[in-house]
Structure 1
Amino acid sequence: MNKKIEKKLFNLFTGEITATILFAIVYVLYIEAMEWSPQYLLPNSSIYSFILLEFILLQGSIYWFLKWKQVKRKDFTNLKEGYLLLYKGLRIINLILIAVGIVVCMLLFINGAVNRYLYLGIFAFAIIEHINYYHIRLSYMSYQEIKEFIRQKGFRCSKLAKELKDLKN
């Protein structure tokens, strides 16, 4: 059982960090390779949404890395209080950045900016990742997890959200 949890956490953290790195590489490659891309990818608004997404993905990968290291030590408790306080602060920072992003999104649509739909897509992805880490679990990868999701009839609280809630109590 411990090895199974350890492997799952390892896959989560390596998957998140790999996605973070690959998204950055693909973003830069598109700027370099596609003649149409600068008008969509280089405006400050597009860079803002992309950095927000990367920032949130990085938070998730570090969280899963910390949980993996903890399980390797046979420690199945919540993260240490210091880490949880850091994540509590990051959650607030994310919400501020998302609020700014909503204003940016409204301005892009009011002004008819060419990159508004790309911005909205990347920004929505960032919001979904924030919700996935800090509120409810949205990702179900394996067949077993999907069966569990159907059985429980809905979403459940994310692991980090549970730990942050326990911190309050």
Structure 2
Amino acid sequence: MIDGARPRHGIAGLRRTYLSLGTGELAAVVVFVVVQPMVAGRLDDAGGRALWWAMAPLLVILLQGSAYWLLARTWLPGAGRPGMPRGVALLYQAFRLLDPVLLAACLAGLLLTGPGPGALVLCLLVWAFGVLEYVNYFVVRLSYPMTQWFTRVGRRRTPVLVRDVARASS
């Protein structure tokens, strides 16, 4: 549906899908921010600080994704704009370059806080989730329904965001 084919319910259905994706990413940010203090409270001080280092890039990338889906609703056919505005495309080109720097800096911060072994594993998993989100938005599409994941992920499709940026930049 998001790979360029129109959903059964046309543009209105695609707008609803984009709204769902955008609000879903935003809800994930809220959940992570609410749950983080509860988890950090079970860790020592170093583990709690390391968890923030792990979560920071994940939250930033999820917010970027949420903003993209919500903004993209305005440039779907019939929405009034012919495509992604050039300024938005430039912003997402910058995100594509800066997010790996953020991921690397936060990994260094996470490791330098010296969390214990259990906290380190948890924090590395959270940080890795941020890496997966980055890859999903800026490198190759990874999100598919679970029943189709193994057959579709191997196709290495370009993420919709990357295609929108390329069209706006050409």
The reply to whether TM is greater than 0.5 is yes
Determine which of 94, 97, 107 is the counterpart of 1:89: 94
Residue-pair matches, total: 160
TM-score normalised per structure 2: 0.79
User: How far is the alpha carbon of 1:66 from its aligned partner?
Assistant: 0.2
CA distance in 2, matches of 1:131, 1:12: 17
Aligned residue number for residue 164 of structure 2: 163
> Which letter maps to 1:2?
I
User: How far is the alpha carbon of 1:100 from its aligned partner?
Assistant: 1.9
In the alignment, is the contact (CA less than 8 A) between 1:49 and 1:123 conserved in 2? yes
Query: Structure 1's 26 and 112: CA in aligned 2 closer, same or farther, altered over 3 A?
Result: closer
Determine which of 135, 139, 146 is the counterpart of 1:135: 139
Determine which of 19, 25, 29 is the counterpart of 2:28: 19
In the alignment, is the contact (CA less than 8 A) between 2:144 and 2:152 conserved in 1? no
Aligned residue number for residue 3 of structure 1: 12
SS at match of 1:79: coil
Deviations 1:37-90 (CA, angstroms, capped at 9, x unpaired)? 3446522x3211111110110000000000123338525743100001011112
In the alignment, is the contact (CA less than 8 A) between 2:53 and 2:107 conserved in 1? no
% identical aligned pairs:
25
CA RMSD of aligned residues (A): 2.8
CA distance in 1, matches of 2:125, 2:152: 31
Q: Which structure dedicates a bigger proportion of its chain to helix?
A: 1
Determine which of 24, 34, 43 is the counterpart of 1:37: 43
Aligned residue number for residue 121 of structure 1: 125
SS at match of 2:155: coil
In the alignment, is the contact (CA less than 8 A) between 1:49 and 1:101 conserved in 2? yes
CA distance in 1, matches of 2:109, 2:144: 31
CA distance in 2, matches of 1:41, 1:118: 9
Higher mean C-alpha displacement, 129-138 vs 64-73: 64-73
In the alignment, is the contact (CA less than 8 A) between 2:136 and 2:159 conserved in 1? yes
TM-score normalised per structure 1: 0.79
CA distance in 1, matches of 2:85, 2:105: 31
> Which letter maps to 2:133?
E
